A = this chain, B = another copy of it.
Amino acid sequence: MNADTNLGLQARQKIRAGQAPGPTAGLARGNVQANLVILPAEHAADFHRFCQGNPKPCPVLAISQPGSPALPTLGQDIDLRTDLPRYRVWVDGKLVDEPTEISALWRDDLVAFAIGCSFSFEEALIEDGLELRHQTEQCNVSMYRTSIPAASAGPFQGPLVVSMRPFNGADAIRAVQITSRFPAVHGAPVHLGDPSRIGIADISKPDYGDAVSIRDGEMPVFWACGVPPQAALQAAKLPLVITHAPGCMLVTDLRNSTLSTF
């Protein structure tokens, strides 16, 4: 792919030049966007094991060489220090800064994880003609803590957190089919129907994001979401963790369709 036609590279160059302050939704439309987690190498093996044990909430798309801010399998000339519009810096589990670049914080022992996010499968659902209620109602997707524990690894643990999208029966079936093709971005739902079965007491009160309306004849459909790795990192109180800021993702060169397994 040359630079003239590489939408991902163009988006990152714009971000790097300070011309795209985020959120990244809508940039390089059709390209995979990823959550970013950067942490010291001494904790990277545990975190990787946490992801491996929880592939639905934590689908790893790529891991950097220690000290390298590049992710060559995800895009040309990626510089993780400058190519996201905004970052979050966590010290001992506390949010201490939200800078627009992290060059001054970079160290030789930092390891970066790019983790799949639901943008990719949401694009496939929309392409298929399904309605995403949180888009119709112009708010954030509803997210809930569940009673299902994530597999723990070293200091990393916590409950599974799910995002919820309401559908009628036929659309729920179609949504299962479509998202099953995308294991690298949370994949198939983990539950549908009665929220109490996974420990959700009140569907109208999400733990994260916004409540959306569930219409007559619809049921809630639940997918693993990317909150658990974030929450586990916070709870582990590491001396330094850097993540993307909400909505300010890593824009890659990969097309969403390339993540489809069939």
Contact = CB atoms under 8 A, between A and B. Distances in A.
A190 B170 contact: yes
A208 B30 CA distance: 47
Interface in A103-157: none
Interface in A164-212: 168-170, 172-173, 176-177, 180, 188-194, 197-198
Given A217-B197, A262-B262, A192 B180 contact: no
Interface residues of A, number: 21
A188 B217 contact: no
A177 B188 contact: yes
A219 interface: yes
A82 to B, nearest CB: 40
A222 B169 CA distance: 10
Contacts of A222: 169
Interface in A57-82: none
